[in-house]
């Protein structure tokens, strides 16, 4: 006795099965490549390990000497007669000095904390170079903190300054922290 036509199991043709298998393998291969590429990118851009005590002792005198040259150039560049209002300042493994400074503008008013890094003992500010170039250099500064030269604020703008610390307060909103001026 034969089965009726509507009761026979349907079998998909061979070509659509092959196409589906190729698509599935392609999607899985792409996902695997994406995971490997992302992990490689994260390893390359992770923060570098901190120095050992011996490395720190060897690097500190060179970093201080470089910082003295950069600080003199920074004072000259910002036309400062008073001592500089500094935020965090550090040296990288390559001897580059990075940090934040509150300088006076062309009209004599304080500008708020701005980022800088040094190239051959000359401070470079954001307005001196292309935006992307500054961001890449600053990213390298952030990930390679080798010798701390001055402890201070890492926040840019008014709230990172000494006066700003007294006038700004921190507000917590659902795991986000933002600073508001009074």
Same domain, 98 and 148: yes
User: Which contiguous run of DSSP H or E holds residue 143?
Assistant: helix 131-143
Same domain, 16 and 67: no
**Local confidence pLDDT in tens for the 182 residues of the chain:** 566 666 666 777 888 889 999 999 999 999 999 999 999 988 888 878 888 889 899 999 999 999 999 999 998 888 877 788 899 999 999 999 999 998 766 666 677 889 999 999 999 999 899 999 999 999 999 988 899 999 988 888 888 887 777 777 665 555 455 555 54
pLDDT of residue 172: 52
pLDDT of residue 180: 52
Same domain, 99 and 39: no
pLDDT of residue 1: 58
Distance CA 125, CA 136 (A): 13
Same domain, 119 and 142: yes
Same domain, 64 and 83: yes
The full DSSP string for 69-98 is HHHHHHHHHTT-SSPPEEEEEEE-TTS-EE
pLDDT of residue 49: 84
Distance CA 85, CA 165 (A): 13
pLDDT of residue 43: 85
- pTM of the entire predicted model: 0.70
pLDDT of residue 181: 52
Same domain, 36 and 75: no
Same domain, 99 and 25: no
Question: What domain range is 126 assigned to?
Answer: 53-181
Distance CA 61, CA 178 (A): 37
Whether residue 146 lies inside any domain: the answer is: yes
Whether residue 5 lies inside any domain: the answer is: no
What are the Cα distances from residue 55, in Å, to 52, 93, 94, 140? 5, 10, 13, 20
Cβ atoms < 10 Å from Cβ of 157: 17
Nearest to 83 by CA among 109, 114, 104: 104
User: Which contiguous run of DSSP H or E holds residue 44?
Assistant: helix 14-44
Same domain, 26 and 86: no
* 3-state SS, one letter per residue, for 45-66: CCCCCCCCHHHHHHHHHHHHHH
Number of domains in the chain: 2
């Amino acid at each position: 006795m034969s089965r009726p036509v509507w009761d026979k199991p349907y079998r998909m043709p061979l070509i659509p099965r092959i196409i589906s298998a190729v698509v599935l393998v392609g999607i899985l291969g792409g996902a695997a490549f994406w995971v490997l590429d992302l992990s490689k990118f994260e390893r390359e851009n992770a923060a570098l390990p901190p120095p050992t005590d011996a490395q720190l002792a060897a690097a500190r005198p060179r970093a201080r000497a470089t910082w003295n040259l950069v600080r003199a150039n920074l004072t000259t560049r910002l036309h400062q007669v008073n001592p500089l209002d500094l935020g965090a300042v550090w040296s990288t493994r390559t001897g580059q000095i990075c940090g934040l400074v509150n300088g006076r503008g062309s009209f004599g008013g304080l500008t708020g904390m701005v980022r800088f890094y040094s190239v051959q003992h000359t401070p470079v500010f954001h307005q001196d170079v292309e935006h992307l170039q500054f961001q890449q250099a600053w990213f390298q500064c952030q990930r390679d903190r080798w010798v701390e030269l001055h402890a201070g604020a890492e926040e840019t703008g008014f709230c990172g300054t000494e006066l700003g610390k007294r006038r700004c307060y921190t507000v917590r909103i659902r795991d986000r922290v933002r600073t508001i001026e009074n």
